[in-house]
Structure 1
Amino acid sequence: MTLLQTIWQRGGERVVAFGPDGEVTLAELRRGSLQLARAMARLAGPDRPGMRWALCFDDSLLFAQALLACALGGHRAILPGHQRLAGLQALQSQFDGLLTDGELPGTALTAAQLRLPLLAADDEREADGVALPPERLDLTLFSSGSTGEPKAIPKAWPQLEAELRVQMALWGERLAGTRVLASVSHQHIYGLLFRILLPLGLGRPFDRRSIDYPEQLALQTAPWCLIASPAFLSRLDPAIAAAGCRLIVSSGGPLQPGDAQQARQLFGQLPVEIFGSSETGGIGWRQRHQVQTPWTTLPGVEVRVGPEQGLLLRSPFLPTAEWLACADRIALHEEGFELLGRQDRVVKLEEKRISLDEVEARLQALAEVEAAAVLPLQQGQRQILGAVLVLSELGAARWAELGPGRFLLALRQQLRPWLEPVALPRSVRRVEQMPVNAQGKRPWPQLKELFDEPLG
């Protein structure tokens, strides 16, 4: 029996979600999924029994309902990663129908369209338990497309279930008796697994709404866990008082050590960081007790070092048992592995290979710098490095005292023992908070635009 069948056949009185209108039971989720599956079948007609349905939802309960409806009907769920009309139009060839809780785009899309929640149907009384439990759910995710066109990533249910069972074994005990809150979207692999499938697998209720502001955590009255991004954890207010936290998970980008420690001070839990990608699923995890805490591979996952320190991966979460070359660079240690940055974050300056991630790490190790983003810039015929910085209190005082130019010279002097001269940043911009996009990733085109304007 697959995990999807197990979830479906549990007692209907079990609470699966909660929101402003109260709690929702598994029986109610099943009824809604079956009703939707019938509506999808009527819309598809007999000629298209297995369609590709794009799912675009704000409400996590309705999203889960749509996932199960796709599984019941043998359809493929397509997760575009966003709900912007222009983006959906660009992906029209990837799906045949659209399920959403937002406004229907109408003729702007050629696909069939259904808006949730559906109106109560006459046959709703027959909707609980009349269908065989769904065996599997196949879907297609899309990468964020930050460096180009979004990339379609097919996922078969055995891949998802393999990782889901591993994550359930790792965190199930700590999630006992909790409610699952999330600041990340369920439209991406991390949110899909941890915000939707993990709670369903463990029988823990999830919040159908997103946590948009850290202050919402202070309103919780029951034990809770938080599925978050590094960007969300960087915005925590030191004055927040929120009891009842049992687990914090962070993924989607690097979590700064100071942000991890602040979360522990506020909530009593040091965040668990998950390293992975849409293509690979989860690879490793850690709790950053020290700045250089290595990563531990997830059970069943193997890593080794390939050419140019590239990460080679073999994982039960991949479609084949072959070794996969990844874009990340690693070093192996007895306690685990260390991330050295991405291969696509290595640039060649004056015939020398420079790791932008290493330059960022050296900057962030300085007392004046809280966060840094380093990128290559064109200066006439020459390529240089620019640094976007979030300064510490000390750094802000020195910036005011020295001015931008002398401040940069002082930073360069501190970096000289560690970096080649060509790797020292030659241009700097200061921001109060590091920009990130909806997935917690750095928007490199936006950061580059900061250098188009003269330093004020």
Structure 2
Amino acid sequence: MSLTLEQRLDTLPAGAEVAWCGQQYVTAGQLRADVATLAGWLAAHPARHWALCLDDAYAFTVALLACGMAGCVAVLPGHRRPAGLEEQAPYIEALLVDGDWSSAVLSFPVCHWQAVMAAPLSAAPTTPWPAPLSVLMFTSGSTGVPQAILKQERELLAEVEIQAGLWADALAGAVILATVSQQHIYGLLFRILLPLRLGLPLAAATCTTPEQLQAAVRGLMRPWALISSPAFLEHLDPDLSCPGARWLVSSGGPLSASGAALSQRCLGLSPVELYGSSETGGIAWRQQHGSDWMLLPGLTLSVDAAETWWLTSPFLPAGQRWALSDRLVWQENGFRLLGRADRVIKLAEKRISLDEVERRLRAVPWIAEAAVVPLEIGGRRCLGAVLIPSAEGWRLHATLGEGRLLLQLRQALRPWLEPVALPRRLRCLSAMPVNSQGKRPYAVLKELFDVAIEC
């Protein structure tokens, strides 16, 4: 049986390196002290549901473990947008942030990491954690409204244990670098919990550019592994050289053949690809682009008469199955994915609900109706919006023209949507096309963009 987070923290040797912060390593002894100190502060605070908007991976680790020690729920909003955070207010009692922060006033207190940890604090008493850690995260879901997902410590650690069994040898002695945030389940599992399980140091800073990765590798002077997104690998400079890589994993969206080739050329490794979702955790993996997906140990898939695939997994609540949103076909050595069956798509590794974007568009005062379609423009995927403007909208259209109207529309949506979810093309019609069944013919809608204006 795997150790709990409390047990794992307690059994780490005091001198073990757990994080690379700037130019020095932080030890397990310092981590335990920081966790106990913050837990004491959290225990004295009336809030029990803490949203963690911490970009620094070490600060996030401290806060996550302190939530467990203090009996608080760790809420991972997945973003730092004030409007989106306010929308999640029913799940949040207080917010812990680091770095630069918006001056927006929210309906719950905002506490700054630097100020909290700089103040004289009392460590939490050395008593057992009151309950296993609970983590609340959000996904777009198929309805267009962000869905809250409560993950229990048991479910998270079940996957960590299986992933550790698969990759421990490859990761031995490596520092864990990352290009992805720990605000989502992939980063949480592989950037935070897996290093803790294996006793490996994690890099506190995120490598957002290939140049930052190269600089980080030079500063480490030891083997390293990379938790990456496909988009990062697909934009590597062919002349980039980053020696010393032990292991490379990619998740969050499909990896192109060019991305796999660049990874091999620049990093000297064929990336492990992971398939899964926020709801399910990991489902399968492969290590050669175009090969079949292999189920993780302990998971099973079954199909019903409606050709819906059902997942049984130890990463789900006990006794539950999950209906996959993807179509797949079994092969001799695993399965192949045939695409999503719902309206949630991946854009630059962001999970975007087309229903959510449409809902936001309809909330704009001068829009009467809206439809959103994914487009391929210059080899890049983006969104196009087909709008039925109100009378006011048509007046704006006549005054501004479609290009400037699109700019104004994108500005109105920025408080609510990820930048990648903002429509990049626009068509305004007097009536929404429908087929004989009264449904929108999305193939026809896509054809409208052959002569649309791009912003």
Residue 148 of structure 1 aligns with which residue? 144
Spell out the pairing of 1:174-189 with structure 2 (5 A cutoff): 174-189=170-185
* Map 1:160-309 → 2, pairs under 5 A: 160-219=156-215, 220=217, 221-289=221-289, 291=290, 293-309=291-307
Q: 1:326 to 1:245 in 2, by over 3 A?
A: same
CA distance in 2 between partners of 1:442 and 1:204 (Å): 34
Counterpart residue number, 2:118: 119
Distance 2:146 2:320 in 1: 25
Q: Name the CA distance, whole Å, in 2 between partners of 1:178 and 1:244.
A: 9
Farther off after superposition, 321-330 or 191-200: 321-330
Pair 1:73-2:77 in alignment: no
CA offsets, 1:86-108, max 9 Å, x none? 11111111111111214566782
User: Paired residue for 1:13, among 15, 19, 30?
Assistant: 15
- Call closer, same or farther: CA 1:97–1:331 in 2, change over 3 Å: same
Q: Distance in 2 between matches of 1:266 and 1:454?
A: 37
Q: Distance in 1 between matches of 2:233 and 2:452?
A: 30
Counterpart Cα distance in 2 of 1:182 and 1:33 = 22
Over the residues paired in the alignment, what is the CA RMSD in angstroms?
Answer: 3.2
Residues 35 and 121, structure 1, Cα contact 8 Å, conserved in 2: no
Q: 1:42 corresponds to which residue?
A: 44
| Aligned equivalents of 2:100, 2:373: Cα separation in 1 | 44
Query: Which region of structure 1 is more displaced relative to structure 2, 82-91 or 271-280?
Result: 82-91
Q: Is residue 98 from structure 1 mapped to residue 86 from structure 2 by the alignment? A: no
For 2:148, give the aligned amino acid: A
Distance (whole Å) between structure 2 residues aligned to residue 386 and residue 218 of structure 1 = 34
Q: Deviations over 1:162-203 (max 9, x none)?
A: 111001111111110100000101000000000111111111
Identity of aligned residues (%): 41
The one-character-per-residue Cα deviations of 1:112-134 (angstroms, maximum 9, x if unpaired) are 3432131152646xx6x834367
| Pairwise CA distance, 1:234 | 1.0
Equivalent residue number for residue 446 of structure 1:
423
Distance in structure 1 (CA, Å) of the matches to 2:84 and 2:318: 31
> Which piece of structure 1 moves more, 4-13 or 182-191?
4-13
Shift of 1:320: 2.9
d(CA) in 2 for partners of 1:32, 1:62: 9
State the SS of the aligned residue for 2:423: helix
Matched-pair contact (CA < 8 Å) for 1:2–1:135: no
Moved more, 184-193 or 300-309: 300-309
Q: Deviations over 1:14-52 (max 9, x none)?
A: 1111121521111111111111111122221xxx6xx11
Q: Which moved more, 1:272-281 or 1:330-339?
A: 330-339
Q: Give the stretch that moved more between structures: 316-325 or 102-111.
A: 102-111
Within a 5 Å distance, the mapping from 1:409-424 to structure 2 comes to: none
Per-residue deviation, residues 212-247 of structure 1 (Å, max 9, x unmatched): 111223231221111011111111000001100111
Residue deviations 1:273-332 (CA, integer Å, cap 9, x gap): 00000001100000125x2x1100000010123345432111111103343212111111
Q: Secondary structure at the match of 1:89?
A: helix
Taking structure 1 as the reference length, what is the TM-score of the superposition?
0.74
Equivalent position amino acid for 1:25 in 2: T
Name the CA distance, whole Å, in 1 between partners of 2:337 and 2:201.
34
Q: Residue 425 of structure 1 corresponds to which residue in structure 2? A: none
| Aligned counterparts of 1:60 and 1:68: Cα–Cα separation in 2 | 12
Counterpart of 2:160 in structure 1: which amino acid? L
SS in structure 1 of the partner of residue 330 of structure 2: strand
| Inter-CA distance 20–93: structure 2 relative to 1 (3 Å threshold) | same
Q: What is the identity, as a one-letter code, of the residue corresponding to 1:68? A: L
CA distance in 1, matches of 2:64, 2:425: 38
Distance in 2 between the 1:147 and 1:137 partners? Answer: 28
Relative to structure 1, the CA distance from residue 26 to residue 183 in structure 2 (aligned partners, 3 Å threshold; closer, same or farther) is same
Contact 1:100–1:114 under 8 Å retained in 2: yes
Give the corresponding residue for 1:158.
154
Whole-angstrom distance in 1 between the partners of 2:120 and 2:128: 20
Indicate if the aligned counterparts of 1:4 and 1:135 stay in contact, CA closer than 8 A.
Answer: no
- In the alignment, the residues of structure 1 paired with residue 186 and residue 257 of structure 2 have an alpha-carbon distance, to the nearest angstrom, of 21
Could you say what secondary structure the match of 2:325 adopts?
strand
Q: Is the 8 A contact 2:41 2:121 kept in 1?
A: no
Unaligned stretches of 5+ residues in structure 1: 347-355, 358-374, 376-382, 393-436
Please report how far the alpha carbon of residue 11 of structure 1 lies from its aligned counterpart in structure 2 after TM superposition: 1.4
Change (3 A) 1:212 1:146: farther
Q: Is the 8 A contact 1:273 1:286 kept in 2?
A: yes
Using a 3 Å threshold, how does the CA distance of structure 1 residues 139 and 123 change in structure 2: closer, same or farther? closer
Tell me, in whole angstroms, the C-alpha distance in 2 between the residues paired with 1:445 and 1:146.
18
Cα distance in 1, alignment partners of residues 92 and 15 from structure 2: 35
Q: Which moved more, 1:337-346 or 1:248-257?
A: 337-346
Any idea what the Cα deviations from partners look like across 1:137-160, whole Å, max 9, x if unmatched? 111110146972221001111111
- The answer (yes or no) to whether the contact 2:75–2:137 under 8 Å persists in 1 is yes
1:25 aligns with 2:27: yes
1:225, 1:449 → 2: CA distance? Answer: 42
